[in-house]
Amino acid sequence: MAWRGIPRWVVGFAVPVLLLGIWQGASGAGLVSAAILPSPLLVINTLVTMAQSGEMAEAIGATSYRMALGFVLGAGAATVLGGLCGASAIVRALLDPLIQALRSVPSLAWVPLFILWLGIFEASKITLVAVGVFFPVYLNLVSGIANVDRKLLEVGRVHGFSPLRRLLRIQLPAALPAYVVGLRGGLGLGWMFVAAAELLGATDGLGFILDDGEQTGRPERVLAALLLFGICGKLTDWALASGGRRLVAWQDIAKA
Amino acid sequence: MPYPLRIEGLEKSFAGQPVLGPIDLDLEAGAITAIIGRSGSGKTTLLRCLGGLEQPSGGTITIGDGKVTPKDIGYVFQEPRLMPWLSVSKNVGFGLAALPKPARKTAIAEALDVVGLAGADALLPKQLSGGMAQRVALARALAPHPKLILLDEPFSALDPFTREQMQDHLLHLHAHYGATMVLITHDMDEALSLAHRVIVLDGPPGRIIGDFKPELPHPADRTSVPFFNWKRRLTDLFSHRQREPENAGSV
Q: What is the pLDDT along chain B (251 residues), one digit of tens a residue?
A: 677 788 888 888 888 888 887 888 888 888 899 999 888 888 889 999 988 888 888 888 888 776 777 778 899 998 999 999 999 999 999 988 888 889 999 999 988 988 888 888 889 999 998 888 988 998 999 888 888 899 998 888 778 887 888 888 888 888 887 888 999 998 888 888 888 899 998 878 888 888 888 877 777 788 888 888 888 888 888 776 665 544 444 33
Residue B124 contacts A, CB cutoff 8 Å: yes
Residues in chain A: 256
Residue of B nearest to A174 (CA): B85
| Contact check, Cβ <8 Å, A252/B71 | no
| Residue A206, pLDDT score | 93
Distance from CA of B30 to the nearest CA of A (A): 21
Of all residues in chain A, what percent carry a pLDDT higher than 70?
A: 98
Distance from CA of B224 to the nearest CA of A (A): 39
| Contact check, Cβ <8 Å, B84/A252 | yes
| Contact check, Cβ <8 Å, B85/A158 | no
What is the rounded distance in angstroms from the CA atom of residue B30 to the CA atom of residue B180?
Answer: 4
Cβ-Cβ contacts under 8 Å, B124 against chain A: 250
Residue of A nearest to B73 (CA): A158
Q: How far is CA A15 from CA A11, A19, A22, A23, in A?
A: 8, 6, 11, 12
| Residue A2, pLDDT score | 53
What ipTM does this complex have? Answer: 0.85
Residue of A nearest to B149 (CA): A158
Distance from CA of A82 to the nearest CA of B (A): 21
| Contact check, Cβ <8 Å, B94/A169 | yes
Cβ-Cβ contacts under 8 Å, A157 against chain B: 52-53
| B184 φ/ψ angles, rounded to the nearest 5 degrees | -90, 130
Work out the angle at residue B44's Cα, subtended by the Cα atoms of residues B38 and B47, and round it to the nearest 5 degrees: 135
Residues pairing with B180 in the sheet: B148
| Residue B249, pLDDT score | 41
Residue B55 contacts A, CB cutoff 8 Å: no
Cα dihedral A38/A233/A109/A204 (nearest 10): -60
Chain B interface disruption, residue of A159, A167, A248, A252, most B CBs within 10 A:
A159
Chain A interface disruption, residue of B81, B96, B124, most A CBs within 10 A:
B81
| Residue B243, pLDDT score | 56
Give me the half-sphere count of Cα atoms (radius 13 Å) on the Cβ side of residue A241: 8
- Closest CB to B51: pick one of A158, A250, A251: A158
Cβ-Cβ contacts under 8 Å, B125 against chain A: 250, 252
Low-confidence ranges of chain A (pLDDT < 50): none
Among positive and negative, which fits the CA dihedral B3, B4, B7, B8? negative
| Residue A141, pLDDT score | 94
Q: Give the number of other Cβ atoms within 10 Å of residue A41's Cβ.
A: 13
Give me the half-sphere count of Cα atoms (radius 13 Å) on the Cβ side of residue A216: 10
3-state DSSP assignment of residue B122: coil
Angle subtended by helix axes A122-146 and A111-118, to nearest 10:
130
Interface A–B counts its CB contacts (< 8 A) at 50
Distance from CA of B99 to the nearest CA of A (A): 14
| Contact check, Cβ <8 Å, A158/B52 | yes
Strand-strand pairing, B32-37 and B180-185: parallel
Among positive and negative, which fits the CA dihedral A79, A250, B122, A238? negative
Give me the half-sphere count of Cα atoms (radius 13 Å) on the Cβ side of residue B160: 2
Residue of B nearest to A152 (CA): B81
pLDDT tens figures, A147-203: 899 999 999 999 988 888 898 999 999 999 999 999 999 999 999 999 999 988 888
What is the rounded distance in angstroms from the CA atom of residue B100 to the CA atom of residue B95?
Answer: 12
Residue B193 C-alpha from the chain's centroid: 14
What is the rounded distance in angstroms from the CA atom of residue A233 to the CA atom of residue A218?
Answer: 23
Task: Evaluate whether B190 touches B43 at the Cβ level (below 8 Å).
Answer: no
| Residue B40, pLDDT score | 81
Residue B75 contacts A, CB cutoff 8 Å: yes
Cβ-Cβ contacts under 8 Å, A175 against chain B: none
Radius of gyration of chain B from its Cα atoms, rounded to whole angstroms:
18
Which residues have a Cβ under 8 Å from the Cβ of A139 and sit 6 or more positions away? A82, A103, A182
- Closest CB to A159: pick one of B70, B84, B86: B70
pLDDT tens figures, A199-221: 888 889 999 999 999 999 899 99
Task: Evaluate whether B10 touches B20 at the Cβ level (below 8 Å).
Answer: yes
Chain A interface disruption, residue of B83, B128, B129, B148, most A CBs within 10 A:
B83
What is the rounded distance in angstroms from the CA atom of residue A18 to the CA atom of residue B106?
Answer: 62
Residue B226 contacts A, CB cutoff 8 Å: no
Residues of A with CB under 8 A from a CB of B: 151-152, 154-155, 157-160, 165, 169-170, 173-174, 176, 248, 250-252
Distance from CA of B71 to the nearest CA of A (A): 6
| Contact check, Cβ <8 Å, A151/B84 | no
Strand-strand pairing, B148-152 and B73-76: parallel
